[in-house]
Homo-oligomer: A and B are copies of this chain.
Amino acid sequence: MAQPLDLSNYLPYLINRVGFALVENFTAAADLKKSGLTIDMWRVLAALSNRGEQRQVDLSGMTSIDVSTMSRLVSRLVRLGCVTRSRSEKSSREVVVAITPKGRALMQRLIPIARELERTASAGLSAKELAVAKSLLARMYKNFAP
């Protein structure tokens, strides 16, 4: 007879809860709807802005979005003028997605809001505690990615 799970002390539950709160808060604070963006589009733009142009499969890996969804999502971002999609030079089965000036301008508006979100989430935590939290999360992730 397994003991019941105490959810309020169960790691996956705690993470899911905070994750949703972060999404909700950011979506509202950044007023993503106004820009015609979803949270997933934001993630793709953030990845492109941070790591430069990438293949769809790489974006998929970074954001945990399915490749078929990514294909359609990039199409929408192209339609919005935030990214370009072009055939790779080194391999014509790949495409390369890159952020446009318009996409970059959007990020200039959103990044400060994203930073503010992190501050809100970590209010009452010392800088050291926030760093510890990040470090622990990074170590947890590694436990799945070997």
Binding site for B on A (CB under 8 A): 1-26, 43, 46-47, 49-51, 62, 64, 107-108, 111-112, 114-115, 117-118, 120-125, 129-130, 132-134, 136-141, 143-145
Which residues of the partner chain B approach A141 to less than 8 Å between Cβ atoms?
A: 14, 17-18, 21
Query: Sorted from nearest, which 7 A-B pairs have the closest CB atoms?
Result: A20-B64, A21-B144, A14-B137, A2-B111, A133-B136, A12-B22, A19-B19
Chain B residues contacting A123 (CB-CB under 8 Å) are 143
Separation of A13 and B46 alpha carbons in the complex (Å)? 10
- Chain B min CB distance to A34 (Å): 18
How many copies, total? 2
A49-B5 contact given A14-B138, A121-B12, CB 8 Å threshold: yes
Docked Cα-Cα span, A121 to B62, in Å, equals 19
For residue A142, give the distance in angstroms from its CB to the closest CB of chain B: 8
Residues of B within 8 A of A108 (CB): 1-2
Among A64, A111, A120, residue most surrounded by chain B Cβ atoms (within 10 Å): A64
6 CB < 8 A contacts A-B? A5-B46, A5-B115, A7-B51, A9-B134, A14-B138, A15-B19
In-complex Cβ contact of A139 among B20, B118, B120, B124 (8 A) = B124
